[in-house]
Amino acid sequence: MFKYLFFLFSITMFSQQTEIQQYKVINTIDNIELRYYPPSMKAKVTSNNNFSKLFKYISGNNSDNTKIAMTAPVYMTNKGSLNTMEFVLPVKYLEKKIVLPKDNSIEVYKSKEGVFASITYGGYSNSNKISENYRLLVNKLNKKNITIISNQPIVLSYNSPYKVFNRRNEILLEVVYKSN
């Protein structure tokens, strides 16, 4: 069953029509991008079966039995033993009625706008790559005197687990940034 879900996930998420969350690059410092993210609708769950629960929600396990298109990236955070995963909903849901999940562990909400620093890395993500890129991002921001709002790294994944080449992963940190 799990392999089937990943297969569907890869077909759905990574077809040519996959919507990518909107953002605007406001500055680039070496390999770091400072991005403005406008509000977006997201579905979030913190549990042991994050992907499965969110996938069921967008597959129709919701108040309208509506299939919701998969978008990229998938957001992941980890606080101790708590793992949170978030799907960004298609931009049309900013103006539409919220499709509520049938699963009470899923929260659908409108994110706040913000400025985030981003570093991109390839390959399959793992704890070593996350730690290494997090340190690189923090060091670069500190050298440029850019204030970090939250030290909690947000890991973004843009690709299906079945995509082998040209994988895109990112670490985001919310920052205070005022352009000159």
pLDDT higher than threshold 70 for residue 4 = no
Q: What are the pLDDT digits (tens) for 127-144?
A: 999 999 999 999 999 999
pTM of the model as a whole: 0.87
Q: Distance between CA 82 and CA 93 in Å, rounded? A: 28
**What are the backbone dihedrals phi and psi of residue 159, each rounded to the nearest 5 degrees, phi first?**
-125, 155
The position carrying tokens 């973004």 is 156
**Mean pLDDT, range 36-43, rounded to an integer:** 97
Q: What pLDDT is stored for residue 97 in this prediction?
A: 86
Which pLDDT band holds residue 14 (cuts at 50, 70, 90)?
very low
Q: In the chain, what percentage of residues exceed pLDDT 70?
A: 90
Is the bond into 73 cis (omega within 30 degrees of 0)?
yes
Tokens representing 41?
């609708």
Question: CA angle at residue 62 from 50 to 6, to 5 degrees?
Answer: 40
Q: What are the pLDDT digits (tens) for 100-115?
A: 999 999 999 999 999 9
| Domains in the chain: boundaries | 2-176
Q: What pLDDT is stored for residue 170 in this prediction?
A: 98
Question: CA angle at residue 152 from 33 to 80, to 5 degrees?
Answer: 145
Count CB-CB contacts under 10 A for residue 25.
10
By DSSP bridging, strand 19-20 and strand 71-72 are parallel
**Mean pLDDT, range 157-162, rounded to an integer:** 86
Q: What are the pLDDT digits (tens) for 73-101?
A: 999 999 888 999 999 999 999 988 889 99
The architecture of the domain spanning 2-176 is Alpha-Beta Barrel (3.20)
By DSSP bridging, strand 71-72 and strand 154-157 are unpaired
